[in-house]
Structure 1
Amino acid sequence: MKRWLVWLPLCAFGVIVAVIAWGLWQPADRTVRSALVGRPLPDFVLPAIAPGKPGLASADFRQGSPRLLNVFASWCVPCVAEAPQLLTLKAAGVPIDAIAIKDTPGDVSAFLRRNGDPYARVGADAHSRVQLALGSSGVPETFVVDGKGVIRAQHVGDIRAEDVPDLLQALADAK
């Protein structure tokens, strides 16, 4: 009996090491998801920030057809990386609106000139109030919004080429 007790601390130490090692090799998904998926967009009205484009309001999403809502910033490197995919979606006939976070009209204009302009409307969210109300934790993020203004899906991070079919399917499902 006493022989077994001698090995108990070593066994306990081995279990602790195994749990820590498992945690290191299987990291948790730390993606912050919006609690508004399946719920209506919060009410908002944002002023225009891009020359020649109207601002953005939650009422714009209750016009009968699904749309993408892209949360971006001109200072965001992953936003540059997703620009070609947004242009691909626009070319496929997908209407895309945007919220520019903590940005200036000059910087947004330069960003759209350099990277292409897939947006129908761009609203300015200078203090990230609408971004936070959406449950968005960063930029870029994209929401699929149905024609009644209900958020149907959320894509966290930059849109990559392999994400385009999933977004197209989410838009089709939102009809």
Structure 2
Amino acid sequence: MTRILLLVLPLAALVALIAVFALNINRDPSFVRSVLIDKPAPEFSLAAVEGLGVPGFDTAALKGQVTVVNVFASWCIPCRDEHPLLVALKAQTGVALYGINQKDAPENAKAFLDELGNPYDAIGADANGRVSIDWGVYGVPETFVVNAEGLITFKHVGPLSPRSLEEELLPAIERAKG
């Protein structure tokens, strides 16, 4: 009996583990609630990306107005896909839009924004990814809404789509204003 139990127990554990992975494989990462929601934005200071002509930014810039913070990189294909939506967001709402340029060469970031347009009021160079880690970024792109008190009120994981812009981000901006 003990011998059968020693054979069945590891097999049952393996089947349970496979079941957990199978049930979560297509799970939308945007459903993962950030632990930073309703908490102050992390303390940071990022220098400007060289050659862009917009300033870097720090935590102090996130107080006094509703702000959208977008983490992006020129090497990120989904960032390229969502970028026209950020340009439209800026044109439509005029909201303060700040970028965190993650692990990117300045010349590549410049070429990316020269080609697609630069909707950002400020862009900080996160060369080593430390600030992105502090923000709880899983991978680029990610977008946050920060209220006037400097509290993170919304996080979108992955690229924005027209639907997520209309149904999630714009309402989150309005809630942050309220």
SS at match of 1:174: helix
**Counterpart in the other structure of 1:60:** 61
Larger radius of gyration: 1
Structure 1 pair 153–24 and aligned structure 2 pair: CA distance change class (3 A): same
Deviations 1:84-128 (Å, cap 9, x if unpaired)?
Answer: 110110011222100001112111110001111110000001111
Decide whether the 8 Å contact of 1:34 with 1:135 is kept in 2. Answer: yes
Distance change in 2, residues 1:52/1:29 (3 Å): same
Q: How does 1:77-92 map to 2 (within 5 A)?
A: 77-92=77-92
Q: Which residue of 1 aligns with 2:124?
A: 123
What are the superposed Cα offsets for residues 112-169 of structure 1, whole Å, 9 maximum, x if unpaired? 0111111000000111110000111110000000011100000000011111122111
Alignment of 1:1-175 (within 5 A): 24=22, 27=25, 29=27, 31=29, 33-49=33-49, 50-62=51-63, 64-92=64-92, 93-165=94-166, 166-175=168-177
Within 2, Cα distance between the matches of 1:154 and 1:173?
13
Gap regions ≥5 residues in structure 1: 1-15
Deviation track 1:21-48 (CA, whole Å, cap 9, x = no partner) reads 7974674636254311110011100000
Which residue pairs with 1:4 in the alignment? none
Aligned residues: 160
- Give the secondary-structure state (helix, strand or coil) at the position aligned to 2:53: coil
Deviation by residue 1:2-21 (Cα, 9 ceiling, x = unmatched): xxxxxxxxxxxxxx98x977
Q: What is the identity percentage for the equivalent residue pairs of Structure 1 and Structure 2?
A: 44
Which letter maps to 2:76?
Answer: C
Alpha carbons of 1:21 and 1:86: their partners in 2 closer, same or farther (altered >3 Å)?
same
- What is the RMSD of the two structures over their aligned residues, measured on CA atoms? 2.3
Structure 1 residues 20 and 53, CA gap change in structure 2 (3 angstroms):
closer
Once residues 26 and 112 of structure 2 are traced to their aligned partners in structure 1, the CA distance between those partners, rounded to angstroms, is: 34
